[in-house]
Amino acid sequence: MTQAGKKKKRAVNRSIMLAKKIIIKDGGTPQGIGSPSVYHAVIVIFLEFFAWGLLTAPTLMVLHETFPKHTFLMNGLIQGVKGLLSFLSAPLIGALSDVWGRKSFLLLTVFFTCAPIPLMKISPWWYFAVISVSGVFAVTFSVVFAYVADITQEHERSMAYGLVSATFAASLVTSPAIGAYLGRAYGDSLVVVLATAIALLDICFILVAVPESLPEKMRPASWGAPISWEQADPFASLKKVGQDSIVLLICITVFLSYLPEAGQYSSFFLYLRQIMGFSSESVAAFIAVLGILSIIAQTVVLSLLMRSIGNKNTILLGLGFQILQLAWYGFGSEPWMMWAAGAVAAMSSITFPAVSALVSRTADADQQGVVQGMITGIRGLCNGLGPALYGFIFYIFHVELNELPMPESSSGGSVVAQYHLQQNSIIPGPPFLFGACSVLLALLVALFIPEHTNLNVRSSNWKKHCGSHSHPHSPQAPGEAKEPLLQDTNV
């Protein structure tokens, strides 16, 4: 009996050792369908953000029902905690994926990012708590762009990044309208079930169909292989900011312009729904129109402006549009003003691509990742600070509702009379006016950025520490932005 037990134990140990060898060889999961391609990454991104886009209208309603007295403050805190956790964890997850492979971390990030979805109808409190904590793993874009970098050549990478970013935009253009229609016709419970099913489909797709992109020779031979803790330091890129005056000007411009943008993304759709009296369908239509106009602005309009007025002037023009947009949001008290300001907002979306292009053109080839990593680090920090700041300003100025919105009229429009009871102040949207002042400072700083210069940042061994979005074995071509233009943000 004892000998049989020992034999059984040895057999189990052999099975465990064999499983470890298979895991190490295959990157932690079985190989998928076909060779790794950009289309695998595109499908992963589309399904994840399509699922969240469906929940745009239900999330706004559940948020106000759960926190009726301090809706904007709690929304800012929730999104602020999520953003800060994402900023802290993104470099570490990127560094670990360089060691253990991309597929397992795609699975991890998608699973934890979508984990809160079914909790919306089960327990709203747990839903928002899990959303905050999920920020630790809500960095799917980081892993996806590393996946793309593994399988593309240098000259193909910009187009591949653009395809992934366009897919992200397409998912947000279509899904909120679909979710609003289904919620109105069949109830929010069906929307939550559908979003959960799409999230599960995404997880199953990663498990079954997505092959590992990291070449086997790039992976270590054991789980105990060390990672670069300098690469995993979330503040590493920020420590380099002050070493060059031009870099400092660019980073200050990005911080002052993106801080209000990050705060706006976290609260604006709630502001439209609860304060301006937009219906669920109107919010969905607003997202779709704004997304389409932004895509046009960042492709056709941006290209024309860069050729005609130059890089720096394009940045200044984008900042000017952003000031006008935020001021219009801040003083606007009618729904048509929000629509008009939204069209201006699409033009303001050219700012960050123009900044990335400026850095890409003026930095040396071996400094691309360093400077782009700084800019992405600044944006990641703003994703945490912006929502909390906006929520706090809303709270200070008492921009709240004391009751739920009234039922919508039969014509499809919202009954907005009760909303304007809250609009007695001179400034209906105080945080947006604050954001306009911040962007005005960014515009003044950007005036001192020279059009043509050589950025001289001491990189030492920073070529491999420039951020978690790209693989250290995938060198960067001159003139090509290494960091993606989009990050994980709340829908």
Domains 32-214 and 238-400+429-451 share a fold: yes
**pLDDT value at position 262?**
84
The CA–CA distances, whole Å, from 179 to 47, 295, 368 equal 14, 22, 40
Q: What are the CB-based long-range contacts (under 8 Å, 24+) for 126-133?
A: 127/62, 128/63, 128/66, 128/74, 128/78, 131/78, 131/82, 132/78, 132/81, 132/82, 132/85, 133/85
pTM equals 0.69
Query: In the chain, pLDDT over 70 holds for what percent of residues?
Result: 70
pLDDT in tens, 259-278: 898 888 777 887 887 778 78
Residue 277 has what pLDDT? 79
Q: Return the number of other C-beta atoms located less than 10 Å from residue 10's C-beta.
A: 10
pLDDT of res. 369: 54
- pLDDT of 360: 66
What pLDDT, on the 0 to 100 scale, is given for residue 401? 52
Tokens of 428: 């209906």
Q: Read off the pLDDT of each residue in 464-472 and give the average, rounded to a whole number.
A: 43
pLDDT at residue 467, as a whole number: 42
Are 146 and 471 in contact, with CB atoms under 8 Å apart? yes
CA distance linking residue 180 with residue 177, whole number of Å: 5
pLDDT in tens, 275-304: 787 887 888 888 888 888 888 887 788 888
- State the sign of the Cα–Cα–Cα–Cα dihedral 109, 53, 382, 119: negative
Amino acid 202: pLDDT: 92
Whether 422 shows a pLDDT value over 60: the answer reads no
Residue 442 confidence (pLDDT) above 90 = yes
Domain ranges of the chain: 32-214, 238-400+429-451
State mean pLDDT over 379-403.
Answer: 77
CATH architecture of the domain formed by 32-214? Up-down Bundle (1.20)
Answer yes or no: is pLDDT of 416 > 80: no
| Separation of alpha carbons 127 and 125, rounded Å | 5
Read off the pLDDT of each residue in 28-40 and give the average, rounded to a whole number: 71
Between 81 and 163, the more confident residue is 81
Predicted pLDDT at 154:
67
Q: What is the pLDDT of residues 154-193, one digit of tens each?
A: 667 666 776 777 777 778 777 888 888 888 888 888 999 9
Evaluate if residue 217 carries a pLDDT over 50: yes
pLDDT value, residue 201: 94
Structure confidence at residue 29 as a pLDDT band (50, 70, 90): very low
Q: What is the mean pLDDT of residues 328-357?
A: 83
User: How far is residue 164 from each of residues 86, 140, 476, measured CA to CA in Å?
Assistant: 20, 12, 18
Contacts of 101 (CB under 8 A, 6+ apart): 27, 28, 212, 213, 214, 219
* pLDDT of the residue at 292: 86
Between residues 432 and 230, which one has the greater pLDDT? 432
Q: Taking the chain, what is the end-to-end CA distance rounded to the nearest angstrom?
A: 61
Identify which has the larger pLDDT, 443 or 468: 443
Confidence band for 220, pLDDT divided at 50, 70 and 90? low
pLDDT band at 72 (very low <50, low <70, confident <90, very high): confident
Q: What share of the chain is helix, strand, coil (3-state, %, to 5)?
A: 70, 0, 30
pLDDT (0 to 100) of residue 134: 84
Q: How far is the C-alpha of 272 from the C-alpha of 338, rounded, in Å? A: 8
| CATH C-level class of 238-400+429-451 | mainly alpha
The pLDDT value given to residue 32: 65
Mean pLDDT of the chain: 74
Q: What is the mean pLDDT of residues 232-236?
A: 72
- Mean pLDDT, residues 237-255 taken together: 79
Per-residue confidence (pLDDT) for residue 490, from 0 to 100: 42
pLDDT confidence band for 31 (50 / 70 / 90) = low
Of the pLDDT bands very low, low, confident and very high (cuts 50, 70, 90), residue 423 is very low
At 51 the pLDDT is: 92
Q: Please determine, for residue 330, whether its predicted confidence score (pLDDT) is greater than 50.
A: yes
